[in-house]
């Protein structure tokens, strides 16, 4: 079966502002109907990348190609791209009613006036705002969540092939933000529309996306599904930016041919642990691995299950985080390791470990994620 061509392609796209390169040879593709997120810290280039797709910025003269439906659109104007945009600030006209705000784009595109009321009503329905209640209100009469829905309706009313969203939930409180995350994901599925979403919120990207492009220092560090990004981070930056990760360094050595994990890593303090095979490992070379806190467990000395990696330490602190308890352990070389344990109810089933306890941090060798150099 032939795979459907991507609706969006970036081919080694670069964008500079003076001597500063905001986007540096970025390449990725977006499938039709996909919820695709650009994730990264402030200043990494994600919003500039979105603006290049929207047509608000153009690539450098030798800065690669932006393609939509297979056609190069580097110099094509925004209104020629069949793209809708939802901004972080909402950008609603304060002097216009909700229905006039939503209709504005239709009027600019010279849609027949007889069609406009029906399309506005449908757009309000998609974002779950009752026309009879909200159509004649002004933006100042709406809550933050309602203004966000109006901005979304104003983009959807144009029936774009691609909807771009630039951190649209940033101004909402936590509970409303989580509700809108679910609604946006539902809209993406119901409409079959391609969503390209910019965010710096890791949890938001993991919860909503089909795939994520993690950006760092103007480049794409990794593209993959949420599970790919979280469970198999390619670099130290990705491992540390998406969730938490414990990092271990050492020198790689081969194990015997009959071992389940073919490599062992020897740390500077002499500690040894097994790691899975990885194309980047070379015998005698340095290697860095990441292990998520929830993949670690704590045992008393001598009680570690056979075959698991084990490093001794002392409990330094216990952090209560609601769903989980993070036990901070000081290792023999002074490094701190975080172990995330399920909270089974501290009032009825308190955690057995206390500050100062001697413990062993243990994990399965296959849970080691070998990192590529940055």
**Reading across the β-sheet that carries 8-17, which strands appear in turn?**
20-30, 8-17, 65-68, 71-72
State the pLDDT at residue 1: 44
pLDDT at 276: 87
Distance CA 25, CA 55 (A): 17
d(CA 225, CA 351): 34
pLDDT digits (tens, 9 = 90+) for 165-205: 998 887 778 888 888 888 899 999 999 999 999 999 999 99
Per domain, the residue ranges of the chain are 8-240, 245-370
pLDDT (0 to 100) of residue 279: 84
Q: Cβ of 232: how many Cβ atoms within 10 Å?
A: 15
Q: What percent of the chain has pLDDT over 90?
A: 67
CA torsion, ordered 281, 286, 292, 295, to nearest 10 deg: 70
Q: Quote the pLDDT of residue 257.
A: 56
Reported CATH class of domain 245-370: mainly beta
Q: Which CATH class is domain 8-240?
A: alpha beta
What is the chain's pLDDT, residue by residue, as a tens digit (374 residues)?
A: 456 789 999 999 999 999 999 999 999 999 999 999 999 999 999 999 999 999 999 999 999 999 999 999 999 999 889 999 998 777 889 999 999 999 998 888 888 889 999 999 999 998 889 998 999 999 999 988 888 889 999 999 999 999 999 988 877 788 888 888 888 999 999 999 999 999 999 999 999 999 999 999 999 999 999 999 999 999 999 999 998 999 999 999 986 555 667 888 888 888 888 888 888 888 888 999 999 999 999 999 999 999 899 999 999 999 999 889 999 999 988 899 999 999 888 888 889 999 999 999 999 999 999 998 87
- The enclosing H or E element of 98 equals helix 98-108
Residues 210 and 219: their CA atoms lie apart, in Å, by 20
Q: How far apart are CA 312 and CA 300, in angstroms?
A: 9
Is the separation of the CB atoms in 245 and 221 below 8 Å?
A: no
Between CA 57 and CA 46 the distance in angstroms is 13
Q: Do residues 131 and 183 lie in contact, with contact meaning Cβ atoms separated by under 8 Å?
A: no
Q: What DSSP assignment string belongs to 208-258? A: H-SEEEEEETTEEEEEE-HHHHHHS-SBHHHHHHSS--EEEEEEEEE--TT
Please give the model's pTM, rounded to 2 decimal places.
0.89
Per-residue pLDDT tens over the stretch 267-281? 888 888 888 888 888
How many residues are given for the chain? 374
Is the distance from CB of 263 to CB of 279 less than 8 angstroms?
no
């Amino acid at each position: 079966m032939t795979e459907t061509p991507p609706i969006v392609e970036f081919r080694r796209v670069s964008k500079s502002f003076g001597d500063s390169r905001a986007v540096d040879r970025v390449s990725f593709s977006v499938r039709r109907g996909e919820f695709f997120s650009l994730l990264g810290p402030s200043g990494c280039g994600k919003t500039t990348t979105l603006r290049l797709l929207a047509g608000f910025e153009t690539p450098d003269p030798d800065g690669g190609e932006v393609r939509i439906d297979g056609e190069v659109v580097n110099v094509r104007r925004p209104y020629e791209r069949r793209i809708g945009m939802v901004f972080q600030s909402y950008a609603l006209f304060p002097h216009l009613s909700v229905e006039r705000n939503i209709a504005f784009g239709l009027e600019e595109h010279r849609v027949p006036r007889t069609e406009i009321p029906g399309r506005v009503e449908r757009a309000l329905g998609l974002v779950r705002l009752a026309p009879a209640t909200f159509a004649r209100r002004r933006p100042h009469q709406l809550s933050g969540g309602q203004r966000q829905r109006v901005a979304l309706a104003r983009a959807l009313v144009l029936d774009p092939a691609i909807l771009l969203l630039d951190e649209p939930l940033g101004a909402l409180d936590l509970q409303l933000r989580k509700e809108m995350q679910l609604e946006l994901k539902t809209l993406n599925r119901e409409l079959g529309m391609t969503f390209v979403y910019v965010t710096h919120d890791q949890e938001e990207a993991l919860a909503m996306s089909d795939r994520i492009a993690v950006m760092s220092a103007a480049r794409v560090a990794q593209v993959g599904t949420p599970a790919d990004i979280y469970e198999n981070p390619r670099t130290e930056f990705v491992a540390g930016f998406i969730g938490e990760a414990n990092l271990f360094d050492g020198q790689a050595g081969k194990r015997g041919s009959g071992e389940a994990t073919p490599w062992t890593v020897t740390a500077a303090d002499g500690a040894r642990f097994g790691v899975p095979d990885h194309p980047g490992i070379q015998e005698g070379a340095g290697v860095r691995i990441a292990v998520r806190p929830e993949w670690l467990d704590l045992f008393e000395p001598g009680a570690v299950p056979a075959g698991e990696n084990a490093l001794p330490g002392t409990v330094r602190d216990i952090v209560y985080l609601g769903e989980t308890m993070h036990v901070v352990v000081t290792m023999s070389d002074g490094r701190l390791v975080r172990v995330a344990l399920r909270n089974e109810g501290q009032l009825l089933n308190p955690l057995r470990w206390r500050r100062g306890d001697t413990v062993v941090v243990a994990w399965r060798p296959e849970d080691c994620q070998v990192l590529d150099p940055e």
